[in-house]
Structure 1
Amino acid sequence: MHWLTIQDAFLDDFAPLQPARIDWQDTTPVARDFDDPYFSRDDGPAETTHVFLHGNQLPERFAALPPRARFVIAETGFGTGLNFLCAATLFLQQAPADAVLHFVSAEKHPLTHADLARAHAGWPAFAPLCAELARHYPALTPGFHRLWLGNRRIALTLLFGDAAVRFGQLQARVDAWFLDGFAPARNPGMWTDDLFRQFARLSAPGASFATFTAAGFVRRGLAAQGFDVARVPGFGRKREMLTGHFLGGWQPAHSTPGHALVIGAGLAGATSARALAERGWQVTVCDPAGIAQHASGNLAGVVYTTPSAHATPQNRFYQSSYLHALHWLARHDFPSQPDDGALTGVLQLPPDARHRDKQQAALDSGLWPADVLRPAGSGWPDASLLMPAGGYLRPQRWCEHLLRHPHITVLPEAVETLTATQTGWQVGTGHRTHDADIVIIANAADATRLAGLHWLPLKRIRGQVSYYRATEASQRWSQAICHSGYLTPALDGLHCVGATFDLHQLEATPRDGDDARNLAELAANLPAYHADLGGADAALAGHRVGFRCQSTDFLPLAGPVPDACANPSTPQPGLYLSIAHGSRGITGTPLCAELIAALANDEPVPVDQEMLAALAPARFILRQRKKQPEWMP
């Protein structure tokens, strides 16, 4: 499917999720709304093995995969995750060590963390994978959730919401289908012509399917979409089930990583480089200033987001990218020591009535589960929020951690020229010329200096942060606090207090007046903290000026660079942007890096197609030419 294809499924409103309501009958979970067990009461793993693993010939197919293969399974109904656990375990045992399994599963009513753990307790054979899944199982928010498990050999993408809608928003090439909704008679919404059409759209040539049901309308519906369908013996007391293949001959896909060059060694560049290096790419990162020396170079940054009650693409990106950033931090075990920062929660105080109403609406919307967002509690202004999983960290340490990989080389060079060739890109730095298969531009507003990118709609916003020396009282602070500015606990004995926001002043020299403004904001919003810091006598130890890069619609530009002079709907092969992250670089860059790496490797895309289009750099050219669809933000 084209990277800017519009789907009717975008009309889905990403409504709050209703978690699964389960009745436990001994060790078997039964869906109360469908009066159907999640797996066989006799032997759940054996049923999965017979129906889905052998029904799709997975033992033989996994064992025959070539090096660096990529295999994609898609499933209707994640449920307890039993099918995923069985398939992932088989893959880790049978597939080549450098092969990757993508498992994409839709679930309208996901299990709570507690119910998932209770179900997994009955399968000790899967204990290590269950523990990893439990650690990374996402918050129950609608949309796409990409998790890397099994030492990065398993990519689990959970699509929380209606299956037909979510698969309508998916870009992928599926090799095998697990059709595992509850019984058609009890859950007919999981067995519709709309869903069958999505199976056909997403299937690779020769893709297989298997399902426990042998219902006639399921057989006829799949056959109408081009699937060859056969009845075969079912499991246990079920006499028959269905298996089959999509039209065409199946061939396994495999990745061919080459050389990537990343321009910029800040948060956007470091995350992009790491996402590619972990996929086997050799990555060269060019930045004349070194690692995290520009907008990513403040002493501390806050891991947070701005919650909203409205599930627009922009607000969904803020939520999804925050959750994805937390997954990256957990997967990389960062921060791992006190000087890196800490994920001890973030308080967000409303600085005025408008923000108070917005924050209260987010709390009341149902879109933000309590493990993601909750009231701050007594002692704080009305509608103050706590993000319990957020925190603060040292951006430079995070970038250094990400770039510390055997496939990544960082060079102190400035990119001056960028020229397309027949096989990729030629990058000139003044010191030498680099040949690259793909290029990721991640140098914020400096991207406009490269040939052909003058059209980028970017703003540079000056910000000055003040560093104040910790006192005996302030050393006890453990949480970052956002208000009209922000405050962090001490790193190296210094608190970050800031930051100014100036669209019209581009002077890089720190100004005493800005330090005074930062301290005055602290006094107005957090008078007790201002007093703990020393009040008007707080000891200023330094300051730093940085320039945030922001787009005119407040979303990053992440994805392929369009051909601005010809057809803006056509991307320039192998050229990508990850810029304009504003003041949310820590939060937004991991998901953008995952998106770019997925596109470069022809993997299932980790965001829905509406969000993909909302992040696409081409959106601005399409708007200028008045070709944008109405749904684009």
Structure 2
Amino acid sequence: MTLPTFSPIRPANIEWQDNTPVASDYDDPYFSRQDGMAESQYVFLDGNQLTERFQAMGPDQYFVIGETGFGTGLNCLLAAQRFLQQAPQSARLHLVSVEKHPLRRDDLQNALSHWPALVALAETLLNEYPAPTPGLHRLQLHPRISLTLLYGDAEQLWPLFNHPVDAWFLDGFAPACNPDMWQPALFGQLARLSHPGTTLATFTAAGFVRRGLQEAGFKIEKRKGFGHKRHMLTGTRSSASPARQQALPTVVVVGAGLAGATTARALAERGCKVIVADPAGVATQASGNLAGVVYSTPSAHLTPQNRFYQQSYGHALRWLQRHGFPSSPQQGRLNGVIQHFVDDKQKDKLIQAMASGAWPEELLRPAGEEAAELVGGGYLQPAAWCQHLLDHPAITLIQRELAQMHEGEQSRAVFTDGSVIDADAIVLCTAGSTAQLPGLSWLPLKHIRGQVSYCRATEASRQWQQARCHGGYLTPAVNDRHCVGATFNLHNPDPRPTDEDDDENLAQLKTYLPARWQELGGSDIDIVERRVAFRCQSIDFLPLCGPMPVASENPHRPARGLYLNLAHGSRGITGTPLCADLIADLICGCPLPVDQQLVDALAPDRFIVRKRRKQPEWKP
């Protein structure tokens, strides 16, 4: 399959006519001027028999709704409301919707303000509403309802989505106004993602739409339309079938750092029983620094690598907001990160990212002439974040060291104390030490030594509010200490801190932020502590996240029930939430939070595939 080329997203141009939003580019309203809510309920909810199907769901089953035009989100919110009213308490709903031109947040808020019955769900949508960047965006409307927004062209994005859909909302601007969408290619994708029992409903009864859906394999019925519309269409692949059962396995997560804590929480929130094993306890390795920065590396080029950096940044911000972290200045702040230009190359890269539209101003904006601000980023205590995530009734923490693993009907974790745990899946979140486990020495990992210097705050430095990145990074005071760092040494395995590394950190601060260096004490800066940790990074700068390959006659065969989530480098706070959701959805058999292109880019077996095909590595 030819890989799609992702482009910057152009938000919708809205003209308000009375209380109805109208798309200027299509000259078509987003919902019925007569009664938008009633039309959505009649056409999409009743047309797909959602009340009856939600009522018929059993415990722990899940239902997937696909939509071809998100618009104001009205259809999805109504479906979510109906689900909460009718489905069993343990059932789950996954909404998946494409939008080529998403509404700006202010327009969305204005549109949703007309539906007071949806206020709770609408507020959650607005709180989690993503910036207009291409690709998939996972939102959580309710603990049992997820929404995956696909921003971009439907014809490109649906082929990158690979999960069966139970009901389709075939929505969008009218075929006469938006003929590019209502094409056989789209109907073919609907059929590809459908199964026996999948239904669809649409407000239009245009002949070429009806014929196209029939040719794609749907049995189509013409019904009375809503209001002044004479007809609408409903369809099915065959007789209705029940929703699918969600796997709720027992999972062993090895490692209690950022990767392990986020993975455990993602699994627990899906109803899994999770055992987290780490001999040293919570966040004692690279995740144990006093403070870390929530940031990304913007680029104008939307390669898989750069799209992961972008999508994981927005995803991490949604996770932090959803969990109410940080909740105090001592835990950190999410008030933006200032990225100072260290040279012309970096300056040009960031200016190009802003100018291209690939990084909209909701995420990246100028901060004077020699810096840019990553909006919404910030700094936090990684260990406190890990502790917060692991505080869940479905998560058990044990201090044991993994010795080996076995795959079979169940995965078996064998620990150095002789104890054994059988589970449905094992996830290794063990960073650089993963390569020391039996059969995993082949992993293409780099171990990069970093020393951070903890400097005593001064009267002037206690006024600092934002984290700053330059050649290194500088955080506001946490426990009256600033993090200044960090060194970057690939060839030094010594875990002991050195005075020379402290000098390097302070010299870098003096070079790039001389005013801050002076406010911190200048030549009299008081270093009260220092800490060495080893970043784990892959050779292509992306994490290893997915099923673990096994050494066998077929190296592409994943080990049953064994997964990796590691090599997050210096972006652990930012990258781990998205990878955690990917791992959890793979294990539970749910729709994935990233497109297939990113699934492949993160898959641990990509290095085997690349070696065989002699493909070049991605460059940052």
Normalization by structure 1: what TM-score?
A: 0.96
* Aligned mate of 2:461, from 474, 486, 502: 474
Cα distance in 1 between the residues matched to 2:543 and 2:358: 22
Cα distance in 1 between the residues matched to 2:526 and 2:159: 57
Cα distance in 2 between the residues matched to 1:387 and 1:631: 24
* Aligned mate of 2:356, from 361, 365, 369: 365
- The verdict on how the C-alpha distance between 1:364 and 1:43 changes in structure 2, with shifts beyond 3 A counting, is same
Residue 427 of structure 1: how far off its partner (Å): 3.1
State the match for 1:296 in structure 2.
Answer: 287
Cα distance in 1 between the residues matched to 2:587 and 2:238: 27
Residue 248 of structure 1: how far off its partner (Å): 6.6
Classify the secondary structure of the residue corresponding to 1:625: helix
Residue 31 (structure 1) aligned with residue 23 (structure 2):
yes
* Aligned mate of 1:332, from 294, 304, 323: 323
* Aligned mate of 1:194, from 151, 161, 185: 185
State the match for 2:532 in structure 1.
Answer: 545
State the match for 2:52 in structure 1.
Answer: 60
Contact 1:614 1:632 (8 Å CA) reproduced: no
Cα distance in 2 between the residues matched to 1:554 and 1:630: 10
Contact 1:63 1:96 (8 Å CA) reproduced: yes
Paired residue type of 2:246: S
Paired residue type of 1:194: A
- The verdict on how the C-alpha distance between 1:630 and 1:193 changes in structure 2, with shifts beyond 3 A counting, is farther
Aligned pairs for 1:343-382 (under 5 A) are: 343-377=334-368, 381=370
Normalization by structure 2: what TM-score?
A: 0.98
- The verdict on how the C-alpha distance between 1:393 and 1:66 changes in structure 2, with shifts beyond 3 A counting, is same
Classify the secondary structure of the residue corresponding to 2:613: coil
Residue 33 of structure 1: how far off its partner (Å): 1.0
Classify the secondary structure of the residue corresponding to 2:433: helix
Structure 1 residues 325-359: Cα deviation after superposition (integer angstroms, max 9, x where no partner):
00000000000112110111100012112111111
State the match for 1:390 in structure 2.
Answer: 377
Residue 446 (structure 1) aligned with residue 447 (structure 2):
no
Paired residue type of 1:261: V
Cα distance in 2 between the residues matched to 1:342 and 1:478: 8
Cα distance in 1 between the residues matched to 2:484 and 2:589: 43
Residue 217 of structure 1: how far off its partner (Å): 1.1
Residue 457 (structure 1) aligned with residue 444 (structure 2):
yes
Aligned pairs for 1:53-452 (under 5 A) are: 53-150=45-142, 152-247=143-238, 250-377=241-368, 381=370, 384-452=371-439
Between 1:600-609 and 1:321-330, the stretch displaced more is 600-609
Contact 1:204 1:250 (8 Å CA) reproduced: no
Cα distance in 2 between the residues matched to 1:314 and 1:568: 24
State the match for 2:552 in structure 1.
Answer: 565
Structure 1 residues 16-51: Cα deviation after superposition (integer angstroms, max 9, x where no partner):
111111111100111111111111111111001110
Contact 2:336 2:376 (8 Å CA) reproduced: yes
Residue 583 of structure 1: how far off its partner (Å): 0.2
Residue 252 of structure 1: how far off its partner (Å): 1.1
Residue 528 of structure 1: how far off its partner (Å): 0.3
Residue 591 (structure 1) aligned with residue 578 (structure 2):
yes
Q: Which runs of 5+ in 1 are unaligned?
A: 1-6
Report how many residues are paired. Answer: 620
Cα distance in 1 between the residues matched to 2:597 and 2:546: 13
Cα distance in 2 between the residues matched to 1:632 and 1:529: 33
Cα distance in 2 between the residues matched to 1:498 and 1:226: 60
Residue 532 (structure 1) aligned with residue 519 (structure 2):
yes
Contact 1:139 1:372 (8 Å CA) reproduced: yes
Contact 2:407 2:562 (8 Å CA) reproduced: no
State the match for 1:3 in structure 2.
Answer: none
Residue 629 of structure 1: how far off its partner (Å): 10
Contact 1:613 1:632 (8 Å CA) reproduced: no
Cα distance in 2 between the residues matched to 1:330 and 1:208: 35
Paired residue type of 1:72: V
- The verdict on how the C-alpha distance between 1:83 and 1:495 changes in structure 2, with shifts beyond 3 A counting, is same
Classify the secondary structure of the residue corresponding to 2:84: helix
Structure 1 residues 44-100: Cα deviation after superposition (integer angstroms, max 9, x where no partner):
110011100010000000011000111000001100111011101001111111111
Which stretches of structure 1, 4 residues or more, deviate above 4 A after TM superposition?
627-633
Classify the secondary structure of the residue corresponding to 1:337: coil
Classify the secondary structure of the residue corresponding to 2:556: coil
State the match for 2:563 in structure 1.
Answer: 576
Contact 2:405 2:411 (8 Å CA) reproduced: no
Cα distance in 2 between the residues matched to 1:346 and 1:417: 41
Residue 249 of structure 1: how far off its partner (Å): 5.4
Residue 623 (structure 1) aligned with residue 610 (structure 2):
yes
Cα distance in 2 between the residues matched to 1:189 and 1:44: 24
Residue 124 of structure 1: how far off its partner (Å): 0.7
Residue 628 of structure 1: how far off its partner (Å): 5.9
Identity %: 58
- The verdict on how the C-alpha distance between 1:544 and 1:632 changes in structure 2, with shifts beyond 3 A counting, is closer
